Structure 1
Amino acid sequence: MNRRQFLASAAAMPMAAMSLPAIAQTEPDVIRAVTRQIDVKRRSAQVFGLVDRNGRPGWSRRAGEGFAVRLVNETSEPTGIHWHGPTPPWRQDGVPGVSMDPIPPGGSQEFRFPLDRPATHWMHSHLGLQKQALMAAPLIVRPANARDEQEVVILLQDFSFSPAEELLARLMGGPAEMAPQGAAAPSPHGAMGGMGIVDRLRGLVGLGGRGMAMDINDINFDAYLANDRTLDDPEVIAVERRGRVRLRVINGASATGFHLDLGSATGTLVAVDGEDLAEPLRVSTVPIAVAQRADILLDLPEGGGAVPVLFRREGARERTGVILRPPGAAISRLDEMGDSAPPVGVDLEARLRGPAAPARATRTIVMPLTGDMAAYRWGMGDGAPLQVRRGERLEIEMRNSTMMSHPIHLHGHHFQVVAIEGRRFAGALRDTVLVPPMQRVTIAFTAENPGPWPFHCHHLYHQVRGMETLLRYA
């Protein structure tokens, strides 16, 4: 059985993790939603965080041990945390207003479900604009048996010293009081800032016909973070000389796509969104849209020098990253501005391969992605929930009629990318896919996890301004 056949058969098998009764008897780990202080560009900022009992960010266990967590809200605001990547029963999904009520300040809630396969997942607030204030963390499922590799987890985020409510109001072309009630829950400073409609239109005038590029990013942030740090003060991670490193990269930004840049080094892309590729690819750069993840195996060079792992902001020159440092390696200062701006596109997506394509879908749904930049209003279809039946094989063709990219995420399922611009292929399994401006991307999945499931753009400000719907089982 080759790798492709194995993945195809594994995708069709039920989970063999710890049983639900066993998980129900497990003493839960504690994840605390907290308010914390970090330093960004030599300034103090108050942000949120998701940490364990000892203050370490996120959660990690071995495959088969199951997810048993008590989420404790130690902030002064209600919250709700979505477990992004796992496919639990819908009541465990962590989405206020859909699968749960918000957890009040001082309150807590338990979550329990199986996790049977190694994967790079993450967790983040799904309430208002809290995610912009860094209410996110890694959720890592490691192999049951240790591998001969060192793991390096990198969480990418975008940051501004202005609050999220202010940015949303700017995008809508008015004062902060215009931000919709409920869309922008109060959050610590350290949310974000940016440029408004008038600024963007002014920029378009001077572009000599290149106005489309201005729509790659509708927000300019004060900083771009890798594990809470900027490139002028990066995290330096000790690694073994000539060792093998697994980079687990999570784009936890609210509105920024990044491109991994290994420079002269080359790694092997082995998984995306927590799902193994049938055909790993040798890469030196990888686009990672908002909410996507990438696992890259990197063999450190013989020379023993430090290896910068950089991430360039999509459509711009800013960058962030970490440095891998073998013993004795010298570290050079890195400029936060790169030489060029990586473009938007899905060229690599078209090269990724997952399991052999299953039988054609029994039903295809066309989903228009629409928007009005002037009013900053976005939409998916007519807004009505998508009605599905358990067991049916579905394809959804997303048609982006806007001049911005949209990273589209479906809760509760993994889908396969099966076509770009009508060209069919057996693409990667994912939970989030980028739909570029004026393009079509088709995904396929089997409806096998009943419940109402959010289906939305993961650009936070597009989502709260209307680019979301529900997948509802009949």
Structure 2
Amino acid sequence: MITFSRRGFLAASSAAIAVPHLVHATAADPAPALALAASSRTLDINGRAATVFGLAGPAGQGLVLDPGQLFRVDLTNRLTVPTIIHWHGQIPPNEQDGVPDMPLPLLAPGEMRSFDYIPRSGTHWMHSHVPVQEMQLLAAPLIVRRSEDLAADRQEVVLFLHDFSFKPPEEVLAEITGGTGMATMDHGASGQMGMGQMEMPMGGMMGHGGMSMDLNDYDWDAYLANDRTLDDPEVVMVERGGRVHLRVINAAAATVFWIDSGELSARLVAVDGHDVQPEAGSRFGLAMGQRLDLEIDLPAGTGAWPIFALREGRRERTGLILATTGAEISRLDTLAEAESPAFDLALEARLAALDPLPDRAADRGQMLMLGGSMQPYVWTINGATWGKHEPVRARKGERVILSFHNMSMMGHPMHLHGHVFQVVGINGHPIAGALRDTVYVPPMSMVDVALDAGEAARWMLHCHHMPHLSTGMMTEFVVSA
């Protein structure tokens, strides 16, 4: 958990992911490189030891940069396997983007690689771009603060979400795919992907035309908030009548969450690190790879207030507790009283960017048909898996409209590397929506996004559902000069 306050309140638990204030630096006065290590660690999950991966910075899991501080990082691989880290939400030079062999290879065990670029402010994260490693929790917050964050009289709290299995990720993927999924897919190499039969019984909800939506394709052993479950949740000490800036990151491999502030009224002020017109509410959907920034005003009295992350379509939940000094903290059930609904685009349709893309005509458009099925477990973009894909192409500087048309019965959080896009259409209705890097496309739905093509390079475009990605749901956005 990462927490800050001008008033000096800190997380109560020493087990938290705590990253205190880092040294200020500017481009004119560069600080030394920060050390970041991909390494193993042990968590206590419901009384059972679990060996997982992590990204250890100078003061715990993750990194926090202050206004004007460069992203100057020395990344060391302290694992026994090769790895590579993608800086999700950032737009580094292409060679620093962190995708295997596009263009740089994986880091060998013991190898160090340096990164140096101007970061984008906001709530972001970093994770391995090897699906089985992200499923082993090789991910962490990446927070880039603005001068307004330093000036604001509010306490910053990070809520970092995961789904977790005690089984090795290769075994999880084998169960999901029927035993022949390409669990260790090499993003940089072309080749045919083996697909297997899906044999697990799947719970779903009724979708369009009476068809059943498959909201979840695996029941995980635990759902984690800052590496903990509700059997032993993190308790963040807060001030009576204070204001909390809650940065929520969905780092789960295959779980959509509803963020529920319960009795507390919240204001959604940013998505994927980009400011939006504030949207009041107490429940907000969050797909894999996406982030939410919520402002919460606390009551004046003593109290303890859970912030829940509810699993889409099921009763499982995780979360943390905001509590004032002396508050009585009750035990929380890991199951909600009722199943949560399916995630939809109702909120997305209302969001509006505070700093939208400049208004201009599109130079080109591209339809991306999202397809797939549970039996066999095959997931495609325009009918092709990675290695058989036809890249999406554009020229640098062009305004491009990408239309994601999901013809499958599972939702797909679609993430584009190296770019920020604006949501400009939902199911054929034009909107002037939020800026994002990851957009959720529900079953039998269509979402249009606009972007200006950036650096001439090969950029990944893929579903952020790890079993979908690992079985081929990925293509390239190739920008030419």
Verify same fold: TM over 0.5: yes
Cα deviation for residue 181 of structure 1 reads: 6.6
Aligned partner (choices 290, 293, 297) of residue 291 of structure 2? 293
- What does 1:19-58 correspond to in 2, within 5 Å? 19=27, 26-54=31-59, 56-58=60-62
Indicate whether 1:63 and 2:67 are aligned.
Answer: yes
Aligned partner (choices 134, 143, 146) of residue 143 of structure 1? 146
Other-structure match for 1:359: 360
Secondary structure of the 2:219 match is coil
Q: In structure 2, what residue type is equivalent to 1:454? A: M
Other-structure match for 2:11: none
Q: State how far apart, in whole Å, the 1-side matches of 2:84 and 2:360 are.
A: 37
Indicate whether 1:266 and 2:265 are aligned.
Answer: yes
Q: State how far apart, in whole Å, the 2-side matches of 1:388 and 1:112 are.
A: 27
- What does 1:45-194 correspond to in 2, within 5 Å? 45-54=50-59, 56-115=60-119, 117-144=120-147, 145-174=150-179, 178-180=180-182, 182-183=184-185
Q: In structure 2, what residue type is equivalent to 1:280? A: P
Aligned partner (choices 278, 281, 294) of residue 280 of structure 1? 278
Q: State how far apart, in whole Å, the 2-side matches of 1:99 and 1:328 are.
A: 54
Q: State how far apart, in whole Å, the 1-side matches of 2:92 and 2:169 are.
A: 30
1:253–1:290 CA contact under 8 A, matched in 2: yes
Cα deviation for residue 18 of structure 1 reads: 5.2
Cα deviation for residue 204 of structure 1 reads: 7.4
Question: Against the structure 1 CA distance between its residues 432 and 335, is the aligned structure 2 distance closer, same or farther, given a 3 Å change threshold?
Answer: same
Q: State how far apart, in whole Å, the 2-side matches of 1:281 and 1:468 are.
A: 32
Q: State how far apart, in whole Å, the 2-side matches of 1:306 and 1:458 are.
A: 34
Cα deviation for residue 184 of structure 1 reads: 9.1
Q: In structure 1, what residue type is equivalent to 2:47? A: R
Q: State how far apart, in whole Å, the 1-side matches of 2:298 and 2:337 are.
A: 24
Q: State how far apart, in whole Å, the 2-side matches of 1:473 and 1:401 are.
A: 27
Indicate whether 1:212 and 2:219 are aligned.
Answer: no
Cα deviation for residue 437 of structure 1 reads: 0.3
Q: State how far apart, in whole Å, the 1-side matches of 2:446 and 2:172 are.
A: 29
| TM-score of the pair, normalised by structure 2 | 0.87
Which structure dedicates a bigger proportion of its chain to helix?
1
Q: In structure 1, what residue type is equivalent to 2:441? A: V
Secondary structure of the 1:151 match is strand
Secondary structure of the 1:348 match is helix
Question: Against the structure 1 CA distance between its residues 129 and 205, is the aligned structure 2 distance closer, same or farther, given a 3 Å change threshold?
Answer: closer
Q: State how far apart, in whole Å, the 1-side matches of 2:445 and 2:143 are.
A: 33
Aligned partner (choices 406, 411, 414) of residue 417 of structure 2? 411
Other-structure match for 2:228: 229
Cα deviation for residue 375 of structure 1 reads: 2.0
Q: State how far apart, in whole Å, the 2-side matches of 1:254 and 1:133 are.
A: 9
Cα deviation for residue 373 of structure 1 reads: 1.8
RMSD: 2.2
Other-structure match for 2:318: 320
1:333-355 Cα deviation digits (max 9, x unpaired): 11111122222211100010014
Higher deviation after alignment, 29-38 or 164-173: 164-173
1:32–1:53 CA contact under 8 A, matched in 2: no
Q: Identity of paired residues, percent?
A: 46
Question: Against the structure 1 CA distance between its residues 223 and 204, is the aligned structure 2 distance closer, same or farther, given a 3 Å change threshold?
Answer: closer
Cα deviation for residue 322 of structure 1 reads: 0.2
Q: Flag structure 2 segments of 5+ consecutive residues without an equivalent.
A: 1-24, 188-196
Q: In structure 2, what residue type is equivalent to 1:453? A: W
| TM-score of the pair, normalised by structure 1 | 0.88
Other-structure match for 1:333: 331
Secondary structure of the 1:335 match is coil
1:114-157 Cα deviation digits (max 9, x unpaired): 02x53001000002410000000000011234321110011000
1:286-307 Cα deviation digits (max 9, x unpaired): 1010010000010111222111
Q: Which runs of 4+ in 1 moved over 4 A?
A: 203-207
- What does 1:420-435 correspond to in 2, within 5 Å? 420-435=426-441
Secondary structure of the 1:462 match is helix
Q: State how far apart, in whole Å, the 2-side matches of 1:285 and 1:348 are.
A: 10
Question: Against the structure 1 CA distance between its residues 299 and 204, is the aligned structure 2 distance closer, same or farther, given a 3 Å change threshold?
Answer: closer
Aligned length: 436
Cα deviation for residue 206 of structure 1 reads: 13
